[in-house]
Structure 1
Amino acid sequence: MSVSSVFKEFCNNLMILESEKIIIYRRFSCICKVLNMKYWNLKSGYGGMFIGAFGRKTAIKGNKVIKIMYIMPDTIRNKCFRHNSNPQLEFLIDVKKTINQIYPNARINKDRQTIQVSFFDDMTIHIIPVFKNFEKFVYADISLEGCWKVIDPVSEINAISIGNKSTGLNFVRLCKMAHAWRINCSVPIKEKLLETLAYNFLFQWEGKYCSYNRYDIMCNNFFKYLKNLPSSQKKWEVLGSHQIIYNPENFKDQVNLAYFNSKKAIDLEKNNKYCLARQKWRTVFGNEFDPLIMEKRIKKKYGELILNYIKNRNIKNLKHKNNIIMKLQIIFWICIVLSTLIICWLC
């Protein structure tokens, strides 16, 4: 298979399955329905909004963390703002109790400032109840004595969409491949930061409109871009919302390894060592990259085992036949000797 075919198949493999989407939307609808009934007196299953990687369309197959933003009515906001002592916590507790009606295990996640619902299939849904504040949204932060903070996920979603159209759909594909690398190699980097860096790289790279046949070069150049980032930089401005995001963890070791392996894969391709090249890419991106390689290797191993079995069986059969022939020869010579002795005795 060509570079173009392999990377096209890889990007297709990263797409969220329809079966996964059905489960996500069903749970989303259940949550929205119970919140709508409590806070808006509506029987609709709509009203919330997907944010996070799933909302930005950059999530990949197997994504287990789903974020939902739910807009609350102004009457609740007025009630909350009248409280003097940590109204943020009371606000989240009230929303949590409502969700407990359908999901008893719903709890407040103090680290994420969300109501978290965990499911038997390892999926986790985080609900962020918000109030609309012009074009942005206000959410409850319950750390310390509590406060209200602003988020702007809509601007992030719009920026991703515009960036994707401006690069011939290459931007979202690069984000998804980068997430596959992040998960496969346990890279300590936040989703939004990785997408922001992918955007910064792609819009300064001369091949941002490239087709699949240059995706190997694009990935290698992206890792080179990450490799050359200053090690001292610990904070960035997020694409779209311009929120300042901190990422103190050092991810340079994983970047250097990805750059080396991707460069090695390209060199192997140039030398027509396609199978070895695919294996190198798999060390970067994981099992979704050209899964046929594993299938071929399993088939090859299975074929070798069958051949060895047949060979050993043939050897055993041959030995068995040789033993029979030897025994027959011995019996034949014994008969000759006995016949000779009998003839001599009779004479």
Structure 2
Amino acid sequence: MSTASRFDTFLKNIMVTSDQCASALTSANAIARKLHGHYSNRPYSDDCRLIIGSYGKDTAVNPPRDVDVLFFMPVSEYHRFNGHKYNGQSALLQELKGLFQARYPRTMEIGGDGQVVVVDFSTGHTVEVLPAWHRQGGGLLVPNTHDGGSWQHVDHKAEIAYVADSDARTNGNTRNLIRMMKVWQKHCSVPIKSLVLELRSVKFLSTWNRSRESMTFYDWMVRDFFAELVEKANCWHTIPGTSEKKQYGDVWLSKAQSAHRRAVKACEYELASKHIDASLEWQKIFGSQYEL
């Protein structure tokens, strides 16, 4: 098999299925309907929620991960929780948690970024629920429970557009690169945020000279992405639609360096037509979903 055909098979293996997408949407809609029924007396419409994260950006991989859904709250609720003397943001998440717990007993408020409530469905999907309000001047306000509580400016539509625009410019290579990096992240237990991988993938392909080429060059694309990622340890990127800087950190650096060394070796094997040896190196990076 050629390099292109093996990467094509790999990408087909890691794509979420239509059934998985339908299940994710069903779970997200169930959450949105529950919140809409509590906070609004108007007929339900999908406009009250926005699918964000990997499903919203069309970068989800198999096996499926969390489904992220943003729910637009009434303005009156912002004023109610903003009026709390201390950490109304935490009170908001606790209220949402209480609404879900009777129906979904494994509901929990997560520590992590202090913004979401997690609902664990028996179907296997986990839904992360983010309450939000439209912000004057653009974007959204979402709760942040850390340090006594605050309202954070985000713009998930801008993040979605950032990936989509790059994918259109690169002939579909942006989303494919992000998906492959998410498989590396999981298979090698890499402590790097998915958002960092997305931002770096777009930035990398904006200057890579073969960004619109076919899968024939995917071995080089993966190799060169890891080389640049290693160089960007402890750098940052402005999150689309906001002025907030996403710090990359470096706790993942040693694993990125290891992946780069293996990718270099795999590319050398590809050039020498040693396809089995190359595939074994790619499997060290991506796991068994990359077939021999």
- TM-score normalised by the chain length of structure 2: 0.91
* 2:148 aligned counterpart, secondary structure: coil
Q: Which residue of 2 aligns with 1:244?
A: 245
Deviation (angstroms), 1:35: 0.9
Q: Which amino acid aligns with 2:85?
A: N
The whole-number CA distance in structure 2 between the counterparts of 1:20 and 1:127 is: 19
- SS for the counterpart of 1:144 is helix
Identify the residue that residue 196 of structure 1 maps to in structure 2: 199
**Matching residue's letter, 2:13:** N
Q: How does 1:1-347 map to 2 (within 5 A)?
A: 1-44=1-44, 46=46, 47-112=48-113, 113-120=115-122, 122-134=124-136, 135-229=138-232, 231=233, 233-239=234-240, 241-290=242-291, 293=292
3-state SS of paired residue (2:69): strand
Identity %: 24
Separation of aligned partners in 2, 1:203 and 1:40: 43
The answer as to whether partners of 1:48 and 1:70 remain within 8 angstroms in 2 is yes
Alignment deviations for residues 175-219 of structure 1 (CA, whole Å, 9 cap, x no partner): 111111111112221111111111111111111111111111111
Distance across 1 between alignment mates of 2:6 and 2:243? 35
Structure whose CA Rg is larger: 1
The answer to whether the Cα contact below 8 Å between 2:20 and 2:64 also exists between their aligned partners in 1 is: no
Change (3 A) 1:253 1:82: closer
| CA positional deviation for 1:122 | 4.9
Which amino acid in 2 is paired with 1:129? Answer: P
Q: Deviations over 1:255-304 (max 9, x none)?
A: 222122112222222222212211111111111112xx3xxxxxxxxxxx
Q: Which amino acid aligns with 2:252?
A: F
What CA distance in whole angstroms lies between the structure 1 residues aligned with 2:144 and 2:186? 28
Deviation at 1:48, TM superposition (A): 1.4
Q: What letter corresponds to residue 174 of structure 1 in structure 2? A: L
Q: What is the CA deviation profile of residues 218-266 of structure 1, one whole-angstrom value per residue up to 9, with x for unaligned ones?
A: 111111212333x5x2543234545312343432221222122112222
Structure 2: segments with no counterpart, 5+ residues: none
Separation of aligned partners in 1, 2:240 and 2:79: 32
**Cα separation, 2, equivalents of 1:205 and 1:240:** 24
Tell me by how many angstroms 1:24 deviates: 1.0
- 8 Å Cα contact 1:157/1:240 also seen in 2: no
Query: Secondary structure of 2:174's partner?
Result: helix
Q: How many residues align?
A: 289
Q: TM-score, normalised by structure 1?
A: 0.78
In the alignment, the residues of structure 2 paired with residue 259 and residue 242 of structure 1 have an alpha-carbon distance, to the nearest angstrom, of 31
Deviations 1:50-106 (A, max 9, x none): 112221111211132221110001122232233333322222222222223422332
**Greater helix content:** 1
Cα offset for 1:166? 0.9
- Contact 1:156–1:241 (CA<8 Å) still a contact in 2? no
Change (3 A) 1:58 1:240: farther
Whether the aligned pair in 1 keeps the contact of 2:167 and 2:173 (CA below 8 Å) is: yes
- CA distance in 1 between counterparts of 2:226 and 2:146 reads 36
Q: Which amino acid aligns with 1:8?
A: D
